Structure 1
Amino acid sequence: MLVCLDYASGRLVWRQEVGVGLNVSFYTSSILVDSGQVLVSHGAALVAFSLETGAVLWKQPVEGAGEGPRTIGVTLALQGIAVQGDAR
């Protein structure tokens, strides 16, 4: 379930079922908000929702994410904005 709340009041704006048919733990999901869309990687799919209404805009399978005995996490980032730590 994806829930959008008003930042100032906490009021529910919209609620949407991600609906990729997988029981995926929270740590394998990633959410990114950009250009009026809420992008969610959830299991083996990338789903785009309208930021304003919560309507599903599109769904796209993530190649290789649903293969094997476990579902892997897919992290979303914007070019030039993401920073990832490493062991150095």
Structure 2
Amino acid sequence: MLHPNLSSEEIARRGKEIYENHIRPQVETVNNIGKLVSIDVETREYAIGDDLVVTSSQLQAKHPGAAIWTERIGFNAVYAIGGTLVRTEA
């Protein structure tokens, strides 16, 4: 879904910045590696889970129309098509 005030590029930029600088140090634990974290890039609220729809829906329920960015904790991508996910360094 397109966000009325933010481009896809801006959502990605903000999401990556928020994850790296504010959320990653808190969530990248042994128990969370491989889970998804969805981030509302405007409020910085986040939800962790195994399913993209669930984590995004949790944030959308609080803030309808929120600009959401999703990362896979501990990996370089959310999904891999025809390849493998690469584990990032802690």
Smaller-chain TM-score bracket: under 0.3
Larger Rg: 1
Larger strand percent:
1
**Which structure's relative contact order is higher, taking Cα pairs within 8 Å and 6+ residues apart?**
2
TM-score by length of 1: 0.27
Q: Which has the higher helix share?
A: 2
